Amino acid sequence: DFAIAWDWEYDRDFVFQVHDYCLQRNLKPYLVQPFNLNETLQLISEDKIKFRVFFDRVADTDFRFQELVQLLQNKGTFFINDPDKIKWIDDKVLIHMDLTFHKIPVPPTFIYYPHDGETVLINKIKQIGVPFVVKPAHGVETGGMGVLINGYTVEDIYQWQRQYKDFIFLIQKQIIPFIMNEKPAWFRVFYILEKIIACWWNPSTHVYEAVTKADVETFNLKPLYTLAERIEELYKLGLFSTEIAVDKTGDFVVVDYINDQCDMRKKSKFADGVCDEIVDLIVNRLVEKIQEEVIMREKNGDNLSKM
């Protein structure tokens, strides 16, 4: 019924929780890893196995899985995150321009190109102000590795560029969050198949806390959900996260646009992991919607649907 492709060792608990929840609902889950990829490709090609729903946790980092993605697309499999929709997500320049065009609030940002000289950079820094953040145009390692925080000078940018060798990057005003109840008003918001779950997320310690209904009312946090909905409307992904901060003027700003490969390590095992109950909610929602899709496809003879 359902397959997950994965290879990150820290994904194991999440993947097996999804697997076990599927079994509890009488679904037939299948795990694809590098060791059984070729066998899986052959079985699909020979119509010996069929996946109605596919959840890809690896194709963006391991090109060997691209053949599997293409094969399943040709078979009409439903993807949690459509590969045709996520291929642009990694380009922060395009996403920044798109969000700006659609009037979704993002930090003041300039894009650095290889032909920009020192004078251009100085002028950009003056316009944005300090401190600033530098982000690569394509991809950031888990936990924010690869992002320069607290930049003040052109030399800071050059040192970062020498280390990461990125030709195009974003220079962005660093958002200083408002303090709410002694916590920075910085949030990581998850969208999972029509459900939105918000968390407090400390940008210094990377520690998560669940946002409660009382928090939403007390601190007027409804824009977190509105912004996540607007992002989903633009990109139509089944699962993603976004980072949103409230600045000192009280404005909500999308500071890290879209992450389609959410880190699902649990807080009970990792200090910087997602709250256990939130991972459980995400898994339950995922499997619930997978079951709905499988039932629908069984009734409709595997015709395409729009989950």
Confidence of residue 187 (pLDDT cuts 50, 70, 90): very high
CB 280 within 8 A of CB 16: no
152 is in which domain, residue-wise?
Answer: 108-173
Residue type, 279: V
Whole-number Å distance between alpha carbons of 134 and 131: 10
Cα(249)–Cα(177) distance, integer angstroms: 9
**How much is the average pLDDT of 1-15?**
96
Contact 288, 140 (CB under 8 A): no
Burial class (CB in 10 A: 0-12, 13-18, 19+), 63: exposed
**Residue 286, domain member (yes or no):** no
> What is the CATH number for 218?
3.30.470
- Residue 36's CB is within 10 A of a number of other CB atoms, namely 12
Averaged pLDDT, 211-240: 98
**What pLDDT is recorded for position 249?**
95
Number of structural domains (the chain) is 3
Task: Work out whether strand 186-192 and strand 195-201 pair parallel, antiparallel, or are unpaired.
Answer: antiparallel
3-17, 140-154, 272-286: the lowest-pLDDT one: 140-154
Task: Locate 191 and state its tokens.
Answer: 């969208």
Assess if residue 95 is contained within a domain: no
> pLDDT band for position 142 (50/70/90)?
very low
Q: What is the mean pLDDT of residues 114-128?
A: 87
Query: d(Cα 243, Cα 255) in Å, to the nearest integer?
Result: 6
CATH of the domain at 21: 3.40.50
pLDDT tens profile 53-74: 999 999 778 888 999 999 999 9
How much helix, strand and coil, in percent to the nearest 5, is found in the chain? 40, 25, 35
Q: Please indicate, yes or no, if residue 97 is contained in any of the structural domains.
A: no
Establish if 60 belongs to a structural domain.
yes
Q: Judge if 150 and 66 occupy the same domain.
A: no
DSSP states along 210-248: EPPHHHHHHTT-HHHHHHHHHHHHHH--SEEEEEEEEBT
User: By mean pLDDT, which of 88-92, 102-106, 135-139, 209-213 is the weakest?
Assistant: 135-139
- Domain shared by 214 and 148, yes or no: no
User: Is 120 among the domain residues?
Assistant: yes
pLDDT at position 139: 61
pLDDT above 90 coverage of the chain, percent: 78
pLDDT at 166: 56
Examine the domain organization and report whether 133 and 163 are in the same domain: yes
153 falls within a domain: yes
Position 153 pLDDT exceeds 50: yes
Mean pLDDT of 88-94: 88
